[in-house]
């Protein structure tokens, strides 16, 4: 399953706001269009928006080819893409790479080709990385137990292909060590109920959707062997920003003696950020909490808070599964070893 398709001069995205009931692909040919799609969460997930932004910048170069001030216009487009979602570090890192390629091309007639070539590298590396994370995670969890609770969506819809935390679950299912997945619905955007369930059903992986507030009950009943989540940004000390509700799961897991794992590529580790206190948290519109698909579920005029992410302290994380290996506390030395 892939939610991103590309060709020179364009990128097509599976509109994830329409899933699971409608399959709608949209094609974009400018950086501004891709930035809007990222902001609107038509494409989401840290690795996926990084790849989408890279192809968006390449498409912009193709669109502007032959115009004056080409490099300057593309730098401006890159800045616009960076602002689309501030928490996920993969977006900025992918654009850092694209900007470096842009600066290194002397012949402006080759800029679009070179940017597209590097966007392809970013996408291909993401797939390889995710499969490596999946295999390492499945090996780590094979003796922990096969009943896994996960939060948000971390699969093919959140990456170029295969997934991070859901990639581990896929590999466990392949290896026969998975028993069942408990899928948090993930309010208010319901990425678990809409997207993770969609992927698991597609592959015949056994699961139950649970409301976010059921996690403590399940753990107290001895129904969960491990929790595994993805990440949007990991600070040098292991503090991890992920979808809102992740921190609560980590606290519950700690209380019940259940291992809590994060699965993420090394591109999600931001060594320039010392701790979670410095991670910017995206604040989304209150209407996404007070309404569901434009239908009000709260009294008219009610106010609501909507931080899209929270930060789980590194001390609550049992281990972080990366493509380079399993990193355990202390994370300040683990990421550089």
pLDDT of amino acid 221: 98
Q: Are residues 120 and 196 in the same domain?
A: no
Instruction: Report d(CA 287, CA 307) in Å as an integer.
Output: 12
Whether the predicted pLDDT of 337 surpasses 80:
no
Q: Are residues 105 and 181 in the same domain?
A: no
Single out the catalytic residue among 99, 126, 232, 310: 232
pLDDT tens for each residue of 222-256: 999 999 999 999 999 999 999 999 999 999 999 99
pLDDT tens for each residue of 6-30: 999 999 999 999 999 999 999 999 9
Whether the predicted pLDDT of 335 surpasses 90:
no
pLDDT of amino acid 333: 80
pLDDT tens for each residue of 249-294: 999 999 999 999 999 999 999 999 999 999 999 999 999 999 998 8
Determine, yes or no, domain membership for 137: no
Strand pairing category for 240-243 and 233-235: antiparallel
Determine, yes or no, domain membership for 134: no
pLDDT of amino acid 213: 97
Determine, yes or no, domain membership for 262: yes
Q: Are residues 115 and 150 in the same domain?
A: no
Q: Are residues 92 and 176 in the same domain?
A: no
Which of residues 127, 155, 178 is at a domain's end? 127
- Domain range for 53 is 4-127
Tokens 């590309």, located at residue? 6
Which of residues 79, 100, 127 is at a domain's end? 127
Please give the tally of structural domains in the chain.
2
Nearest to 311 by CA among 249, 252, 224, 228: 249
Percent of the chain that is helix, strand, coil (3-state, to 5): 45, 20, 35
Q: Are residues 83 and 178 in the same domain?
A: no
Determine, yes or no, domain membership for 156: yes
Determine, yes or no, domain membership for 79: yes
pLDDT tens for each residue of 107-162: 999 999 999 999 999 999 999 999 999 999 999 999 999 999 999 999 999 999 99
Q: What is the CATH number of the domain that holds 120?
A: 1.20.120.420
Q: Are residues 207 and 102 in the same domain?
A: no
Q: Are residues 118 and 156 in the same domain?
A: no
The answer to whether residue 232 is catalytic is: yes
Q: Are residues 103 and 170 in the same domain?
A: no
Percent of the chain scoring above 90 in pLDDT: 95
Burial of 212 (0-12, 13-18, 19+ CB in 10 A): middle
- Tell me the two tokens of residue 77: 């487009």
pLDDT tens for each residue of 325-334: 999 999 988 7
Q: What is the CATH number of the domain that holds 267?
A: 3.40.50.10470
Determine, yes or no, domain membership for 101: yes
Cβ atoms of 244 and 309 within 8 Å: the answer is yes
Nearest to 136 by CA among 47, 268, 228: 228
Q: Which long-range contacts (CB under 8 A, 24 or more apart) does 172-178 make?
A: 172/137, 172/138, 172/141, 172/142, 172/146, 172/148, 173/203, 173/205, 174/138, 175/138, 175/142, 177/138, 177/141, 177/142, 177/146, 178/146, 178/148, 178/205, 178/206
Instruction: Report d(CA 286, CA 100) in Å as an integer.
Output: 37
Instruction: Report d(CA 121, CA 124) in Å as an integer.
Output: 5
Q: Are residues 287 and 327 in the same domain?
A: yes
pLDDT of amino acid 1: 86
Q: Are residues 99 and 167 in the same domain?
A: no
Is pTM, for the whole model, over 0.85? yes
Determine, yes or no, domain membership for 256: yes
* DSSP one-letter code for 10: E
Determine, yes or no, domain membership for 165: yes
Cβ atoms of 42 and 11 within 8 Å: the answer is no
Strands in the chain per DSSP E: 4-7, 10-14, 25-28, 147-150, 180-184, 207-210, 226-229, 233-235, 240-243, 260-263, 269-270, 291-292, 295-296, 309-312, 319-322, 325-327
Which of residues 72, 98, 127 is at a domain's end? 127
Q: Are residues 275 and 328 in the same domain?
A: yes
Q: Are residues 152 and 63 in the same domain?
A: no
């Amino acid at each position: 399953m892939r939610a991103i398709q590309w060709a020179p001069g364009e990128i097509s995205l599976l509109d994830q706001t329409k899933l699971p009931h409608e399959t709608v692909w949209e094609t974009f040919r400018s950086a501004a269009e891709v930035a809007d799609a990222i902001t609107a969460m038509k494409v989401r997930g840290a690795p996926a928006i990084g790849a989408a932004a890279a192809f968006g910048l390449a498409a912009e170069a193709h669109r502007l080819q032959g115009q004056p001030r080409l490099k300057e216009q593309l730098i401006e487009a890159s800045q616009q893409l960076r602002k689309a979602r501030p928490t996920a570090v993969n977006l900025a890192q992918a654009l850092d790479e694209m900007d470096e390629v842009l600066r290194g091309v002397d012949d402006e007639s080759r800029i679009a080709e070179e940017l597209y070539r590097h966007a392809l590298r970013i996408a291909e590396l993401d797939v390889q990385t995710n499969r490596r994370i999946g295999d390492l995670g499945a090996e780590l969890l094979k003796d922990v137990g096969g009943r896994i609770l996960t939060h948000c969506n971390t699969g093919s819809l959140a990456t170029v292909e295969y997934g991070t935390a859901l990639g581990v679950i896929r590999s466990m299912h392949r290896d026969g060590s998975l028993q069942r997945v408990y899928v948090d619905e993930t309010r208010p955007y319901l990425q678990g109920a809409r997207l993770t369930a969609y992927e698991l059903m597609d592959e015949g992986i056994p699961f139950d959707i649970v409301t976010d507030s059921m996690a403590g009950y399940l753990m107290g009943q001895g129904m969960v062997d491990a929790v595994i989540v993805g990440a949007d940004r990991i600070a040098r000390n292991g503090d991890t920003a992920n979808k809102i509700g992740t921190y609560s799961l980590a606290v519950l897991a700690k209380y019940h003696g259940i291992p809590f794992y994060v699965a993420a590529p090394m591109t999600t580790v931001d060594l320039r950020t010392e701790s979670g206190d410095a991670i910017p948290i995206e604040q989304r519109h209150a209407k996404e909490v007070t309404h569901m698909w434009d239908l009000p579920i709260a009294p008219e005029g009610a106010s609501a808070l909507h931080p899209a992410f929270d930060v789980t302290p590194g001390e609550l994380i049992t281990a972080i599964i990366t493509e380079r290996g399993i990193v355990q506390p202390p994370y300040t030395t683990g990421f550089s070893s």
